[in-house]
A = this chain, B = another copy of it.
Amino acid sequence: MSTATYTVTGMTCGHCVASVTEEVEQVAGVTAVAVDLPTGRVTVTSEAPVDDALIKGAVEEAGYALQA
Q: Give the interface of A toward B (CB within 8 A).
A: 12-13, 15-16, 19
Contacts and interface: CB of A to CB of B under 8 A. Distances in A.
Contacts of A13: 12-13, 15-16
Q: Could you say how many copies of this chain the assembly holds?
A: 2
8 contacts: A12-B12, A12-B13, A13-B13, A13-B15, A13-B16, A15-B15, A15-B16, A15-B19
Q: Is the interface of A mostly helix, strand, loop or mixed?
A: helix
A43 B16 CA distance: 24
Nearest to A15: B15
Contacts of A16: 13, 15
Nearest to A16: B13
A16 B16 CA distance: 9
